[in-house]
Every structure is written in C-alpha cells, then in structure tokens.
Amino acid sequence: MSLVTLGTHPMPMNRLLAELDRLVGARIITDEVIVQTAVLDYRPVHLTIRPILPYPELVDLVAKADVVVSHAGPGNLATVRSAGKVPVVVPRSVRHGEHVDDHQERYARRLAELPGYVVVGEASELATAIAAARGMRVQSNEPDMSLAITVLEEIIGRPGSLRIAILGTRGVPGRYGGFETMAEELGARLAQRGHEITVYCRHGKAFGRPTRYRGMRLVHLPAIRHKAAETLSHTLLSAMHAATRRFDVVYVCNSANSPICYIPLLRGQKTVLNVDGLEWRRAKWGRLAKAYLRWAVRLAARMPIDVVTDADVIQQYYRTQLSRETRCFYYGTSLVDRGHDAARLAEYGLYPDRYLLYVSRLEPENNALLVVRAYRQLDTDIPLVIVGDAPYAQKYIQQVREAADDRVRFLGYRFGDEYHALLANALVYIQATEVGGTHPALVEALGHRNAVVAHDVPEHREVVGGAGVYFRYRDSSDLARQLQLLIGDPAAVARYRGLAEERARERYGWDAVTNQYEAYFGELISR
C-alpha cells in the first residue's frame, strides 16, 4: 500500500492526484494508493480518498505503507520519518495554485541536499521517485525537527508578523482566571515582538471596553449570562467574527469549545485548541454538562487541529486515554521580590509574613471549605486571607463563610498590583485545588518566592516538584498539621522560598514560554 498525505491545507494538489491516478491506471503503480487530503476538487478513478484522519489512524497507515508521499509540511514529514520511512516530498507550488507562497518549494530544495528525503520537482518525476523510495529507511526513526526548524529559519528567518486571534477567554485585562492571565501575558509579549494580536473579550469583563491594551487589539462581544452557556455562546460569536478576518492562527481556549473549532478550520485558518484540564471532573457541573464536556474532549482528540496542553499529566492523559499527541506549553510567571509593595497591605490590616494566603475561584473542587476547616484547627493568631470569588457558586460560598471564624479575611477578587503585593508578602501560600491542569495561581506563588503547601495531586506535584510541602488528598487535618509546622519553623519557610524561586526560574518564565509559542506558531503556518 502507498500512502499520500497532504495535511490540512485548504488548497488542492490536483496535478499530484492526476499523475498518481494515471500511474495506477497504467499499472506502473500496482498497489493500493490511499490519499489523505483536506480538500478535493479532482475526481480520481483509481485512488482511495480519505478525508482528514484522526492522528492515531494516520500514524498507523504511515507505519503500514510501503512508501509515503507527502507535501513539504514539516509536521507531516516528521510523522513519516518517525516511522523510519524515507518520504517522497512533493512541495506545494504557487504556480499550480497549491499555496499562497513558495516557502514549501524553497524548503524542499534544501531537503534535497540532505539524506533521508526523495524530493520531486515535477509530477512527471513521481514514478521514478516512488520506485527509489520504496523499501528505503532512515538511519534513525526519530524525527529531525531541530533540522527542520533550522532549515525554516534559514529560509524565512524569524517568523514574520503573524495575525493571531485568541478566543474562549473572558478577555483582557486578565481579571478572572488562568486563561485570561495567559492571554494577557502571552499576547502582550507577542505584540511587543511585532505580531498582530487580537483578543476577544466578553462585554462587561474588560473594564471600560478598551479597544487596545498592552499592544493587543480587543474585540468585545456579548455572551449569554448562564453558567453552562456563557463560554460557548461567546466563543461561537468570536469564531464567526474571526472567520471574516485574515488571521494566520486562531488560538481557542477551553476543550468545551472544541466543536466551535470547525468554524476557523473550515475557513482555512490554522486552529489551535488549548484544552486546559479535565473540566468534567469539576463538581460545579451537572450530569448533562459533564457528559457534554467528556464528548467535547473526545471530539478534540479526533479533530484535524493542533491540541496543546499546559501540564505533562494532561498531555499524558490525551496520549494514553485518547491516543492523541499534543504539544505542551507550561504556564508562565514573573519573578517578584519578597516584600514587594508591602505598603499596600495596610488597607487590609495585614503585615508582611503575618498571614496565610489562599487564592482560587470559590468552587467546590477548589476546596476553600476544606482550607477553612483546616485553619480552624490551628493554634495561631495569624489570619487566613482568601482571595477569589465565583459568579455561579453563591450557595457554596455561603457555606465557606459560615465555616470561618473572625480570623479569616475574605477579600474577593484582587488583581494587578494588589494581587502581586498579597502574593509577595504571605507567610505561606495554600494550593488546595484538585481538578485541572496547571493552576496559574500556583505557578505565580512560586514566582513570588512563596513557601507552598499544596494538595497532593499529580498536577501540583508536576508544578511544584520538591519546592513545597504537600497535604494528603482531601485531608483537612493533615493540611492543619503541615501549616502548624511551617508557622513554627521560620528556617523551613525560608528554605522553601528559595526552592520556589529556583523552580520558577527554571521552568516558568513568561519570556521563555513566549519564545516557545512564537517558534511553534511559525512552524504551524509553514505546514
């Protein structure tokens, strides 16, 4: 069997399909030829046409094929070489209406100088090339993506100005959660580097509805104000609006939005879905919502889009449970000095190193109630400060407030300078969440050099490593014990603060995260 894989590019390669059809009809190629293509306006007689394939099925076909023909997309070529095969490379041509520029042709000319590729310039050379590649194997079955990136950089240099849309968040400024902070910090840095960044915001979420913020363009659209419909309704409107614009990349946040990704995909826009964590495990969702969220994740795993995660454990889940490879980009943070902006604490009646800090949306799976119950067991006059709120969890929030004593301070949402001052001056930071991927507040707690006490779940182990203390799963007594030990041991607090700084510096700098995304987006548009 011979396999032809043409990726997800929205322009057809009719000359290639016509020549293959002729070769099979003339019995020059005698085995079955399977063609994977996103678009088709040529009607073949002798070819087996397959539309977009789930990635595991594509990998399986590549492994079984005697020879693989591919356009000059680095991602496709890496898949072929991962299977130990020498690809027959047919670059998309501007002259034949197969691409909008000639970067694939220039890329293929460089590949022709390297071992492990058979490059075809004209369709008439295809029969000879297929015969030469049949049975050939590369020396290593590892994809040489570093070489591909080097070649692309030699051809196009740094990525040019990209037009990137960010959908699926509440918008910027980042005044709600992790996606919003990511959109602001990543978007602002990409804008500073010359890229055109558009962030879609919900009416009423970005205060004052500015049209520009930190170099980004903001588009404000309405949403249905209902827990189960707000995200989907706003993302749907955003995707429809983005489809009328010339974006190079549409970056969609939240796995719940996976079906909406068909809009930019069918428009021919490169589509990336950041799936976050395993959303259906959150206690706030009812039975029907959880069923939908599970379905949306399974759909995302089958769609011909790029899927990204922010945690190794979530990437592993997609690989082992859904047979889907993803790209992992960690959440970022800035390093902030201890004692930063401590004068701001006075308005809350707080003092540096004299309060415990918990930051999260006040929803059941984030365990604010557990934290309050643990704190009630402590013998201390050091207050517990709770930062956060939730628009659809008022009953639970009331339970938390009723369980608290007068040592607990509820500050609601705090953003910007106030938030950073609270993080930079806490004695101990508590992370009690149990669902999701990388929690931004936890990464930021490390960046603010905090002694961290974290719920013992795999996601937190991945982020904190050995730079913090853990309490047993849903065990308020163990949390109380760990907090009491740190309150009475200033040397241990200082040690964990140093470890937190090292951890943040090594893994979570926003500039390093932006470098990775910028290279990735450049690679994405070259496919």
Euclidean distance between CA atoms 451 and 164, whole angstroms: 37
Euclidean distance between CA atoms 391 and 205, whole angstroms: 12
Summarised one tens digit per residue, pLDDT across range 426-460 is: 999 999 999 877 888 999 999 999 999 999 999 89
Query: Do 456 and 472 touch, CB atoms closer than 8 A?
Result: yes
- Is residue 206 included in any domain, yes or no? yes
Task: Output the CA–CA distances (angstroms, integers) from residue 319 to 55, 84, 305, 308, 457, in the order listed.
Answer: 11, 21, 15, 12, 19
pLDDT of residue 74: 81
The length of the chain, given as a count of residues: 527
Q: How confident is the model at residue 208 (pLDDT cuts 50, 70, 90)?
A: low
pLDDT of residue 525: 87
Euclidean distance between CA atoms 61 and 54, whole angstroms: 11
- Is residue 85 included in any domain, yes or no? yes
pLDDT of residue 206: 46
Please tell me whether residues 122 and 236 are part of one structural domain.
Answer: no
Euclidean distance between CA atoms 386 and 406, whole angstroms: 13
pLDDT of residue 435: 81
pLDDT of residue 158: 47
Please tell me whether residues 175 and 287 are part of one structural domain.
Answer: yes
Q: Which two tokens stand for residue 147?
A: 């070489």
Q: Taking the CA atoms of the chain, what radius of gyration do you get in angstroms? A: 26
Confidence (pTM): 0.62
pLDDT of residue 469: 98
Residues 6+ apart with CB under 8 A from 420: 336, 340, 341, 448
Please tell me whether residues 138 and 184 are part of one structural domain.
Answer: no
Please tell me whether residues 99 and 178 are part of one structural domain.
Answer: no
Please tell me whether residues 9 and 37 are part of one structural domain.
Answer: yes
- Nearest to 424, CA basis, from 347, 346, 498, 336: 336
- Residue 344 is given by DSSP the state G
pLDDT of residue 109: 84
What CATH number is associated with residue 467? Answer: 3.40.50.2000
- Is residue 101 included in any domain, yes or no? yes
Please tell me whether residues 298 and 170 are part of one structural domain.
Answer: yes
Q: Residue 106 belongs to what H/E stretch? A: helix 103-111
Residues 6+ apart with CB under 8 A from 417: 341, 344
- The percentage of residues in the chain with a pLDDT greater than 90, rounded to a whole number, is 63
Please tell me whether residues 206 and 152 are part of one structural domain.
Answer: no
Euclidean distance between CA atoms 155 and 177, whole angstroms: 39
Residues 6+ apart with CB under 8 A from 121: none
- Is residue 337 included in any domain, yes or no? no
The larger pLDDT score, comparing residue 115 to residue 402, is at: 402
Q: Is the pLDDT of residue 327 over 90?
A: yes
Please name the residue that has the structure tokens 């945690």.
311
11-25, 91-105, 200-214, 480-494: least confidently modelled range:
200-214
Q: Is the pLDDT of residue 161 over 90?
A: no
Summarised one tens digit per residue, pLDDT across range 262-311 is: 999 999 999 999 998 777 777 667 889 889 999 999 999 999 999 999 88
Picking from 139, 156, 173, the residue at the C-terminal end of a domain is: 156
- The percentage of residues in the chain with a pLDDT greater than 70, rounded to a whole number, is 94
Picking from 103, 130, 156, the residue at the C-terminal end of a domain is: 156
Please tell me whether residues 276 and 398 are part of one structural domain.
Answer: no
Please name the residue that has the structure tokens 């979420």.
205
Euclidean distance between CA atoms 62 and 235, whole angstroms: 35
Euclidean distance between CA atoms 176 and 103, whole angstroms: 41
Euclidean distance between CA atoms 351 and 343, whole angstroms: 9
Please tell me whether residues 497 and 378 are part of one structural domain.
Answer: yes
pLDDT of residue 313: 87
Query: Do 325 and 438 touch, CB atoms closer than 8 A?
Result: no
The Cα angle at residue 36 between residues 32 and 38, in degrees rounded to 5: 150
- Is residue 239 included in any domain, yes or no? yes
- Is residue 260 included in any domain, yes or no? yes
Q: Range of 372's domain?
A: 342-508
Query: Do 412 and 387 touch, CB atoms closer than 8 A?
Result: yes
Cα maximum dimension of the chain: 88
Please tell me whether residues 488 and 365 are part of one structural domain.
Answer: yes
Q: Residue 523 belongs to what H/E stretch? A: helix 510-525
User: Residue 285: left (phi > 0), alpha (psi -120 to 50), or beta?
Assistant: beta
> What's the total number of domains in the chain?
3
- Residues 368, 373, 376, 380: is their CA dihedral positive or negative? negative
- Is residue 252 included in any domain, yes or no? yes
- Nearest to 40, CA basis, from 30, 52, 29: 52
Please tell me whether residues 107 and 35 are part of one structural domain.
Answer: yes
Summarised one tens digit per residue, pLDDT across range 105-145 is: 888 888 887 888 899 988 889 999 999 888 788 765 554 55
- Nearest to 271, CA basis, from 241, 296, 249: 249
- Is residue 502 included in any domain, yes or no? yes
Picking from 156, 185, 209, the residue at the C-terminal end of a domain is: 156
In one letter, which amino acid is 122? Answer: E
Residue 402: burial class (beta carbons within 10 Å; 0-12, 13-18, 19+): exposed
Please tell me whether residues 354 and 413 are part of one structural domain.
Answer: yes
4-13, 310-319, 406-415: least confidently modelled range:
4-13
The larger pLDDT score, comparing residue 162 to residue 141, is at: 162
Residues 6+ apart with CB under 8 A from 481: 471
Residues 6+ apart with CB under 8 A from 193: 514, 518
Query: Do 356 and 427 touch, CB atoms closer than 8 A?
Result: yes
Highest-confidence segment of 16-20, 149-153, 476-480: 476-480
